[in-house]
């Protein structure tokens, strides 16, 4: 059996609420455009997408991630007011909000160490440079998007767990389940 997995940082409720408000403003500015906005409860920071993973690999994955996360302490971030898109704003496929790390790049080091361990376990790792961002929506066809000017609260937040997540794709969008939480040091 296989599970569609990824490693992520889930966000505090108040941050998800702020992102939901931002998405409402972006949706209003881009009304009737083919954009699938992220559901309020699904906002997260993906560290690594693992894809379809055989269940027999879960124990070795669990051991590797647990030992890496145990070496890192609580992570602090700051939302920015910078909405951007991959590959760019002129031909957007993914609309996102930049976030800033307030930890002397500890989150980047954690993501890199996880990637090295995942490669040893024969997971295919995304070769593109890692960028801290929160996906807000996915564009279904090539369109220009409008980014209105507005005041967006620039909030700080702290996380103390890294989550192994399962993604089940449905016609209504993905359903995410936390399979395991890995505690960061206090």
Using a cut of 0.95, tell me whether the model's pTM lies above it: no
39 with 91: CB under 8 angstroms?
A: no
Q: What is the pLDDT of residues 28-51, one digit of tens each?
A: 999 989 999 999 999 999 999 999
Query: Are the beta carbons of 65 and 182 closer than 8 angstroms?
Result: yes
**Span 2-183 CATH architecture:** Alpha-Beta Complex (3.90)
| pLDDT reported for residue 149 | 76
Mean of all residue pLDDT scores within the chain:
93
Structure tokens belonging to residue 18? 């702020």
User: In whole angstroms, what is the distance from residue 159 CA to residue 157 CA?
Assistant: 7
Look up residue 44 and give its two tokens: 């997260």
Q: In what order do the strands lie in the sheet with 161-170?
A: 44-54, 2-10, 161-170, 173-183
**6-15 mean pLDDT:** 96
Report the percentage of the chain scoring pLDDT > 90.
82
Q: Which two tokens stand for residue 34?
A: 């083919």
User: What's the rounded Cα separation, in Å, for the pair 180 and 165?
Assistant: 7
């Amino acid at each position: 059996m296989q599970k569609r997995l990824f490693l992520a940082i889930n966000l505090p409720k108040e941050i998800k609420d702020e992102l939901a408000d931002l998405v409402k403003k972006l949706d209003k500015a881009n009304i009737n455009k083919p954009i699938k906005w992220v559901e309020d409860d699904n906002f997260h920071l993906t560290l690594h997408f693992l894809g379809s993973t055989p269940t027999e690999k879960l124990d070795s994955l669990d051991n590797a991630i647990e030992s890496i996360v145990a070496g890192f302490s609580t992570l602090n971030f700051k939302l920015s007011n910078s909405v951007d898109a991959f590959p760019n704003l002129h031909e957007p496929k993914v609309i996102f909000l930049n976030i800033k790390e307030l930890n002397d790049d500890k989150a980047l080091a954690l993501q890199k160490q996880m990637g090295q361990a995942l490669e040893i376990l024969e997971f295919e790792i995304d070769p593109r440079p890692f960028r801290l961002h929160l996906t807000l929506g996915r564009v279904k066809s090539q369109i220009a998007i409008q980014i209105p000017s507005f005041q967006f609260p620039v909030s700080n937040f702290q996380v103390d767990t890294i989550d192994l997540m399962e993604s089940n794709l449905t016609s209504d969008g993905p359903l995410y389940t936390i399979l395991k939480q890995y505690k960061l040091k206090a």
